[in-house]
Every structure is written in structure tokens, then in C-alpha cells.
A and B are shown apart, each in its own frame.
Chain A
Amino acid sequence: MASLHADELERAFVAIVDEDHGTVTVGGEAFVLVHREMLSDLQRGLEEILGRGAESVLLRAGFARGAQLVDRLSATTNGDGARVMDGLRVFAGRTGLCRVEDFRVTDSRVEVRVTNSFMGQAYGQSDRPVCHFLRGFFLAAAERAAAGKNLAATERRCVARGDASCEFEFSAPFDASEPRAIRAG
């Protein structure tokens, strides 16, 4: 697999804490350092009001972030898919989202396995998978990698449910080559 060069990485993802100005930047973009428990509290608060509807909010937020990052990496790597995925892996690790252990693209699906998911670790025990933001984040990358749109996104395993790692699967519910808008006759 092609890798981002070290200097490219530094340019793309260098983290700078500027206490004098009260700013944190990663790759020149402003970040806020927060406890991951604060994010899990936020997710629980959303779930308390929206129920499973909270998933839609978190998933869309993750997708938007993932898509923005993939676009940026595509621009800096001239669209080299392997280097984009490499950059995604570095970004996720450096910002504390998770460690990407495996990103596998097959004919019919994309599978992503991560450890140290920030939400999986912070949320506590759950009967259901909880990493909705990451699911959306990797959905954006999966749609790019699989050249497909509107993939179904499922978290098959989650550390919050007691699994060893979190595993996401992205696949076309019907047929990746077909649009899914169905016109009534």
C-alpha cells in the first residue's frame, strides 16, 4: 500500500496547541480538546430525547466530517485511493477518534475494523452499538472507496456491547450500480 510521505503527513495533520491564543489546530484546522466522556454524555442526552433518532443526527454529523476529510485528502494526494485511506487512518489516530486496524474493500462491501473507538470506550455498557459518529465518518470513506452512493452502514460489533473491537460494514442494499429512487408506475 502506498503511504503518505512523512512531510505530507506533517503538513496535513500536525497538531499545534497554542496556549497564548487559546487555540488548538490539527493540519491548520481549529479543534477543541474535550473529554470523550463529554461526547458520550452528549450522545446519551440526544438519545434521551430523540431515541434511535439520535443515530440519524450523529451519523450525518460523522458523514459530513468524513466527507470533508476525504475531499481534502483526495485533493492533496491527487485522488490516490490508497493514500487517502492512509491519511484517514493517520487522522483518526492523531485526533483520538480511534485506531483503524483494517479497511477492506471487496466487490460487494467495505469493512472497517477499529479499536479504541472514542465512543465505544467512553459510553459504557450498551445492548446496541453506539459508534454512530464513526459509522457515518467511515461511510463517507466507504462510499468513496466503493464508488457507490447511499450504502447501508451497519456496526456489526462494538466494544460497548462487549466485543473486542468495533466493526463496520458498508454495502449496497439493492444494487450498487442502480439508483435507489423508485418511481411508482
Chain B
Amino acid sequence: MTQESRIDARGPHVSPLALREQIEDAMRDLRRLGDIVAIAIARRDGLIIAHDLPPGVDPKKTAAMSAAIVGTSEMAGRELGQGKFLQVIVDSDEGKILSTGAGEEALLVTLVRPEANMGLVLLGVERAAQRIAVLLSGD
């Protein structure tokens, strides 16, 4: 199986509905960190997988922008000899956008309150990203 196909090929034991519920669970657990305002899961090619973005936010555009931000950050890190990409944080006065890989083919994007404890948030996001990566790979 190619990496390109892994998101859609979820293995024989997980029905689409079950996968949906498991991803929903992972998102719900992450949201238990009070500092997280919204979550989007996107493919690295910028297509949206799941989200709980606020009304009025275009999830498709958000997913595409996140893919571009992560892609550019990865390339910048490589160009500047900074090693493997871990995450990118867009820090704004009303909040932060944290984007990280969730396996080879997906991204986890979280909107975080400006005053958040980023240590806790990063731990929670990393754990959620690993969980989502496993779910989407079908392993």
C-alpha cells in the first residue's frame, strides 16, 4: 500500500462510521484541554477531513492554508538546517494557530487561546496527533 492511499485504506476492521466516531472521540478528548478553541484535521494536500471550526470559518480554505503553512515551514526548516519539522505556531494577538503532522498524510490544526499554557497544549496535541495518525493509517 502506498502512503498516498493510506488515509482512505483504513484496514478491514474499521468501518467508516467507527472511524468517524474514533476521530470524533480524539477531537473531543483534545477539546477537554480548556485552552483549545477549535480543531481541524486535514490531509497534507489541503483537503479537510474533520473539524469543529466556528461558524463563518471556511474549513476548506483553512485546510488548504494549513497545508501551505506546514509545507512552507517544513521547507524552511530543511533549507535552514533545522532538522525534522515538529509543529508551527502562528501567534496572533487574539490567539494561536498550532499545526502539526498527524502521520505522513494528515495534519492536526488547533486554535488556542492567547493566554494558554502552551506546554500542556503541546503535550495534548502531540498525543492527539499520534492517535489520529494511527486511526487514519488503519494500523
Q: Which residues of A contact B (CB under 8 A)?
A: 48-57, 59-60, 128-129, 132, 150, 152-156, 169, 171-175, 178, 180-185
Contacts and interface: CB of A to CB of B under 8 A. Distances in A.
A53 B20 contact: no
A155 B69 CA distance: 23
B52 A183 contact: yes
Contacts of A181: 50-53, 59
A139 to B, nearest CB: 8
A171 B49 CA distance: 12
- Dominant SS among interface residues on chain A: mixed
Contact of B16 (A49, A175, A183): A175
B23 interface: yes
B19 to A, nearest CB: 7
Given A51-B75, A57-B68, 14 more contacts: A50-B68, A50-B75, A51-B74, A52-B71, A55-B46, A56-B63, A59-B47, A128-B4, A132-B45, A154-B4, A174-B17, A174-B50, A175-B16, A184-B31
Contacts of B46: 53, 55-57, 59-60
A150 B52 contact: no
A56 to B, nearest CB: 2
Interface string B26-62: 0110010000000100011111111111000001100
B52 A155 contact: no
Contacts of B67: 52-53, 55-56
B89 interface: no
Nearest to A56: B46
A174 B17 CA distance: 6
A51 B4 contact: no
Nearest to A175: B16
8 contacts: A49-B72, A51-B72, A52-B44, A55-B45, A132-B45, A181-B52, A184-B39, A185-B28
